[in-house]
Amino acid sequence: MESVHRALVLLKTIIDHGSLGVTEAAALLDVNASTAQRLLATLVHDGFAVQSPDRRYSAGPALTSPGLSTRIPQLTDRLRPALEALFDRSGETVHLAALHGTRVLHLDGIEARTHTLRFGLRVGVWLPAHATAGGKALLADLTDEEIVQRYADAAGLPHARTDIDMPALLEDLAEVRTTRIASNLAESEPGIAALATSIGEVGGHRIGLSIALPIARYTRDDADRWAQDLREVAEAVRSRQR
């Protein structure tokens, strides 16, 4: 119960003040820095906080859940036009996702309903980053050292994966950095194919776009076309932020 109380105190402080550092968290809770770090890492892992390059923690996209009366920040509203543009181009189910620790949270999506065989929405669903197109696209934004540290920090936390082939993952991500496109062929779910790209950092969150469909309808020609669609839509978002 004490750990729950401490985590809620940290979360309330982040929401009230915008961000929080480890030293501040430790002083606030009257605990040592390592204890505060573990509590903040748990909030990150479950999507309630994100860590910025200056090592401070701010509100995470789990707080954009439709069940909450206040969404912090309103990323889905801000990026909905990009999602709609990608859907219009591809005609397949598309999602907007955010990276938290070693998992991705699907924040928004549009389901393709014109196909008898289609991929349904996964809004609100958490998936392991290493096994999803969106997750790999977002992990590729990080350095190899940051990725290894991220998985080390997640070890022992709820939902942590211990079966990661790190050398193979890093090799895969090196290619993603070159092409700016990540793929998932039945890695996260049987019979599903997906492509994704990273938009980059939006409002302090690492955000990606993905296209998913039944693998039975997935072709190389479609994949090449959708990869270009993903790059162009993501670049349009980045251009508007400059």
Whole-angstrom Cα distance, residue 10 to residue 39? 8
Domain count of the chain? 2
Mean pLDDT (the chain) is 85
Q: Of how many residues is the chain composed?
A: 242
pLDDT at 88: 94
- Please indicate, yes or no, if residue 205 is contained in any of the structural domains: yes
224/122 same-domain check: yes
126 in the same domain as 233: yes
Mean pLDDT of 15-37: 84
Split at pLDDT 50, 70, 90, the class of 159 is: low
pTM: 0.72
* Cα–Cα dist 141/13, whole Å: 29
Residue 183 is predicted with a pLDDT of 94
Q: Give yes or no: residues 34 and 101 share one domain.
A: no
Q: What is the pLDDT of residue 115?
A: 78
**CB 90, CB 233: distance < 8 Å:** no
CA angle 80, 86, 180 (to 5 degrees): 110
pLDDT of res. 160: 66
Which residues does 116 contact at the CB level (< 8 Å), separation at least 6?
Answer: none
In this structure, is residue 66 part of a structural domain?
Answer: no
Shared domain for 48 and 106, answered yes or no, is: no
> Both tokens of residue 14?
């982040």
Which residue type is seen at 15? I
69: confidence class by pLDDT, cuts 50, 70, 90? very low
Residue 83 maps to which CATH number?
3.30.450.40
Identity of residue 221: D
How do residues 200-215 score in pLDDT, each as one tens digit? 988 778 899 999 999 9
- Please indicate, yes or no, whether residues 82 and 45 belong to a single structural domain of this protein: no
Cα 133 from chain centroid (whole Å): 10
Q: What local confidence, expressed as pLDDT, does residue 81 receive?
A: 93
Q: 10 with 20: CB under 8 angstroms?
A: yes
CA distance linking residue 121 with residue 95, whole number of Å = 8
Q: How does pLDDT run across 105-141, given as a tens digit for each residue?
A: 888 899 988 877 778 888 878 889 999 999 999 999 9
Rg from Cα positions in the chain: 18
CATH number, position 35: 1.10.10.10
Query: Does residue 143 sit within a domain?
Result: yes
Query: Does residue 127 sit in the same domain as residue 85?
Result: yes
Beta-bridged to residue 96, according to DSSP, are 108, 209
Same domain, 12 and 124: no
What domain range is 52 assigned to? 2-59
Q: pLDDT tens, 79-100?
A: 999 999 999 999 999 999 999 8
Do 115 and 16 sit in the same domain of this protein? no
